Amino acid sequence: MRVLVTGGSGFIGANVVDQLKKAGFAVRIYDMVYPSGIEGVEFYHGSLLDAMALRFAMTGCQYVMHLAAMADVNDVVADPLYAEEINVRGTINILDAARRAKVKRVVYASTIWTYSDVKDAFVTEETLIPPPAHLYTATKLAGEHYCRAFNGLYQLPYTILRYGIPYGPRARGATVISKFVSMALAGQSITIAGDGLQFRKFVHVGDLAHGNILALKPAGANQIYNLEGTEKVSIKQLAEWVKEHANPKIEVIHTPAREGDFKGAEISNKKALEQLGWKPEIEFLTGLKQVIEEKKKEIQNERTLDLVAA
């Protein structure tokens, strides 16, 4: 079985590719960026806006995992037109190419940000979602609706995965954990938007990647699943842990709250556990310490290269 992974060179995508390979799938990456440190896969260079390139790349693929997106909310706010092109039109291009290629399933990477405007303190996949107030949430929900529409009109099977806040190897520098760790190791103060009492249930990227594999089970067809962490960690607590384990000498500073920020709610993983057998396996503090150690090694390697170049 061959799987096309859009965004397979990115943070979550690269980890999904690793686990697909381990599970015995043939993997093809479709991305604008050449994959680094990934071997034994096919690579197709192209944009989500190039419908013909997508059709070509999807030839011979049985499954598509659509992870490519503009995922940083700050980037979305800065360039809403491009965000709409990539996240919305890019997704409909994927779905159209998939139905033409007669793929067996499209797995769409959505987000728990879809619950940002829900007033309920506890949410499941069945919770009614009000009209989104943030551009990023609007684009991701549009992709979800397109998945359902293509299933109804063209019988194209889908699985929607609403990712929790990811962390771990290959993380983008803009993600909150990577940013805090980098700042601490550089001796810079950690800044927190607001009072820092808003919580997250961070989920390790390895657990997310495993969820993508399990989503290919027959039970996952035409379903939505939350893939959320289980441990409540406030942003303030995160900053204190990073300070403790990375650099106790730094300060933690508060700045004004960020518009559209996800305030936090209890998000149920029960459906993913019951139907797919998925649950987070990596404890947060264990994963955080790994991130810190990996970042230290990265910094040391960069210093070594600088010395050699000098």
Q: Which two tokens stand for residue 211?
A: 């969820």
Tokens 């929900």 correspond to what residue?
141
Rounded distance, CA 157 to CA 108, Å?
Answer: 11
Tokens 């397979």 correspond to what residue?
8
Q: Which two tokens stand for residue 216?
A: 């290919």
Q: Which residues pair with 224 in a beta bridge?
A: 160
Sign of the CA dihedral running 15, 17, 18, 20? positive
Rounded distance, CA 27 to CA 2, Å?
Answer: 6
Q: Is 136 a catalytic residue?
A: yes
Q: Which residues pair with 106 in a beta bridge?
A: 64, 158
Rounded distance, CA 90 to CA 95, Å?
Answer: 9
Rounded distance, CA 21 to CA 291, Å?
Answer: 23
Q: Which two tokens stand for residue 40?
A: 């034994």
152 Cα distance to chain centroid:
26
Cα torsion 206, 207, 209, 212 to 10°: value is 170
Q: Which two tokens stand for residue 238?
A: 């995160």
Annotated catalytic residue within 30, 63, 115, 136: 136
Identify the CA nearest to 66 among candidates 83, 84, 81, 88.
88
The catalytic site residues sit at 136
